[in-house]
């Protein structure tokens, strides 16, 4: 407990009022309490603690492979639920910090992306598909939740990194998104910032050619490790990307926080590989061990190990301007599980009565949330490798002040004391060492 109290003096927390969006869904306040980002409250109960971070600066760029036509309204509604004051749309010069701005990638335009306005809200024109789930909402809302004083640049591009050919996947959307993120951070944030990407792909022989895209000076890159158990996936396996793993929060019958374990999606090992089984990790097939992992060489061997760090990946509140299908549940045929889909209400700004609170998760949540925490910690690192050197070296020197070890779980690799392939170094304990 002393560690939580130690970090309580690094910020001045906000507090929110009103009813909770959904009973049982983790909120910015409950998770900030668990991770030592706000003053410790025994049990960190959902609804029993209201302090949320008052942290963050500069900008976080979020890359999504789909369009969310209601993004501004959604992040503002989420903000109004948990934080005081307004979260505004950025002005023409993006100087109204903190603020939110949505962008379309424009591969053939004079600039790599264009700001979305009420008059330019046409993703189809740029070849960007509309989202059919809550992925974009997870990304922008939880990066904002962990760094409410940072601006959020939401970049919508032409599809996720995906395997059409195992030896040559479609990388166009990811690369276009990275070019846009680098451009925006250079234009509006002095060339500094964090880029978050909530997607992963199985590794392939030519992946190392793409590593240079994640090695732009001044920018830190973080990506979801994946939701498919082992083995490692890309781009989290790149030595220039922070790999974000996932955990599950365990609470007792009274709602008090008890422990965290590796996030297991509850699906058997005989599942089809396209199904989400739990937090991904393992040694990379093609990427060699970077120097910042020399201290964990006994685990990773000569290969790049993933993930690096983790965050909760289950049961968090997300607001979307979409509504669950009326009584309809879409079966996941390969695994026999059910997912509740969302259907877009309209392309206009939604009213709260048209929206829905949904509990969701995955390492898609971990990447933007950890991006917010790293932004708030503000180590001064000017590259991913420098940030990861801060993280790994700090863990060696003062592990239990900076990280909580996760020792339960198996994604094909067992959870261990210290670093492992299930949750990396573990989950944050305050802002130190990041």
> What does the pLDDT look like over 95-117, one tens digit per residue?
778 999 999 999 888 899 999 98
- What band does 353 get if pLDDT is binned at 50, 70 and 90? low
In a domain, 353, yes or no: no
pLDDT value of position 335: 39
Percent of the chain with pLDDT over 70: 85
In a domain, 270, yes or no: yes
Cα dist from 367 to 141, 267, 284, whole Å: 12, 22, 19
- What band does 360 get if pLDDT is binned at 50, 70 and 90? confident
Phi/psi at 365 (5° precision): -80, -40
In a domain, 213, yes or no: yes
Q: Which of 2-16, 142-156, 249-263 has the lowest mean pLDDT?
A: 2-16
In a domain, 160, yes or no: yes
How does DSSP classify residue 364?
H
Assigned token pair, 403: 């990280």
**Span 396-428, pLDDT tens digits:** 999 999 999 999 999 999 999 999 999 999 999
Model confidence at 260: pLDDT above 60: yes
Q: Which of 114-128, 284-298, 369-383, 398-412 has the lowest mean pLDDT?
A: 114-128
- What band does 21 get if pLDDT is binned at 50, 70 and 90? low
List the end-to-end C-alpha distance of the chain, in Å, as a whole number. Answer: 20
**Span 174-232, pLDDT tens digits:** 999 999 999 999 999 999 999 999 999 999 999 999 999 999 999 999 999 999 999 99
Beta strands 88-89; 99-105: pairing state: parallel
In a domain, 338, yes or no: no
**pTM of structure:** 0.91
pLDDT value of position 49: 84
Model confidence at 172: pLDDT above 50: yes
Model confidence at 339: pLDDT above 90: no
**Angstrom distance (rounded) from CA 48 to CA 330:** 34
Q: 23-28: long-range contacts (C-beta < 8 A, 24 or more apart)?
A: 24/315, 24/359, 25/315, 25/316, 25/317, 25/357, 25/359, 26/249, 26/312, 26/315, 26/316, 26/317, 26/359, 27/82, 27/316, 27/317, 28/52, 28/53, 28/82, 28/142, 28/145, 28/146
The number of domains in the chain is 1
pLDDT value of position 167: 80
Assigned token pair, 247: 């955990």
Q: Which of 15-24, 174-183, 249-258 has the lowest mean pLDDT?
A: 15-24
Model confidence at 127: pLDDT above 50: yes
Model confidence at 25: pLDDT above 80: yes
Model confidence at 363: pLDDT above 90: yes
419 and 296 in contact (C-beta within 8 Å)? Answer: yes
Model confidence at 92: pLDDT above 80: no
pLDDT value of position 351: 65
Phi/psi at 175 (5° precision): -65, -40
- What band does 139 get if pLDDT is binned at 50, 70 and 90? very high
**Span 70-84, pLDDT tens digits:** 999 999 999 999 998
- Domain enclosing residue 183, as ranges: 53-322+359-428
Residue 221 neighbours by CB distance under 10 Å: 28
- E-assigned strand segments in 91-217: 99-105, 113-115, 151-156, 193-197, 201-202
Model confidence at 259: pLDDT above 50: yes
Assigned token pair, 58: 């500069």
- CATH number reported for the structural domain that contains residue 118 in this entry: 3.40.50.200
pLDDT value of position 273: 52
391 and 296 in contact (C-beta within 8 Å)? Answer: no
Model confidence at 304: pLDDT above 50: yes
- E-assigned strand segments in 252-339: 257-262, 282-288, 303-306, 309-312, 316-320, 322-324, 330-332, 337-339
Report which of residues 87 and 331 the model is more confident about.
87
213 and 264 in contact (C-beta within 8 Å)? Answer: no
In a domain, 189, yes or no: yes
């Amino acid at each position: 407990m002393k560690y939580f109290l130690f970090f309580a003096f690094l910020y001045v927390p906000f507090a929110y009022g009103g009813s909770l969006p959904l009973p049982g869904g983790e909120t910015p306040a409950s998770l900030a309490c668990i991770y030592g980002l706000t003053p410790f409250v025994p049990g960190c109960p959902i609804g029993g603690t209201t302090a949320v971070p008052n942290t963050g600066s500069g900008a976080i760029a979020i890359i999504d492979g789909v369009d969310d036509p209601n993004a501004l309204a959604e992040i503002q509604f989420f903000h109004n639920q948990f934080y005081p004051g307004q979260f505004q749309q950025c002005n023409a010069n993006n100087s109204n910090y903190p603020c939110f701005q949505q962008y379309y990638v424009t591969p053939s335009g004079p600039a790599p992306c264009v700001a979305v306005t009420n008059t330019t809200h046409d993703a189809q024109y740029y070849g960007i598909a509309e989202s059919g789930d809550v992925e974009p909402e997870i990304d922008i809302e939880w990066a904002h939740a962990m760094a409410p004083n940072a601006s959020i640049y939401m970049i919508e591009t032409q599809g996720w990194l995906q395997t059409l050919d195992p030896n040559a996947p479609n990388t166009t959307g990811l690369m276009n998104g990275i070019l846009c993120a680098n451009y925006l951070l250079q234009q509006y944030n002095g060339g500094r910032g964090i880029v978050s990407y909530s997607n992963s792909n199985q590794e392939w022989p030519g992946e190392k050619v793409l590593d240079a895209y994640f090695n732009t000076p001044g920018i830190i890159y973080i990506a979801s490790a994946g939701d498919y158990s082992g083995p490692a996936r890309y781009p989290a396996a790149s030595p220039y990307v922070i790999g974000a793993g996932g955990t599950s929060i365990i609470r007792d019958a009274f709602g008090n926080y008890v422990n965290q374990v590796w996030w297991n999606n509850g699906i058997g090992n005989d599942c089809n590989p396209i199904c989400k089984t739990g937090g991904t990790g393992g040694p990379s097939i093609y990427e060699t061990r970077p120097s910042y992992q020399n201290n964990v060489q006994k685990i990773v061997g000569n290969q790049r190990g993933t993930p690096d760090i983790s965050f909760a990946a289950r049961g968090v509140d997300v607001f979307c301007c979409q509504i669950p299908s009326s009584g309809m549940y879409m079966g996941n045929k390969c695994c026999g599980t059910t997912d509740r889909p969302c259907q877009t209400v309209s392309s206009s700004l939604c009213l709260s009565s048209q929206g829905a609170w949904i509990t969701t998760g995955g390492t898609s949540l971990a990447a933007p949330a950890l991006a917010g925490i790293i932004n708030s910690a503000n180590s001064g690192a000017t590259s991913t490798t420098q940030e990861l050197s801060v993280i790994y070296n700090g863990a060696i020197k003062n592990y239990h002040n900076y990280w909580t070890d996760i020792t339960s779980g198996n994604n094909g690799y067992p959870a261990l004391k210290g670093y492992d392939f299930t949750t990396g170094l573990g989950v944050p304990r305050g802002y130190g060492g990041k």
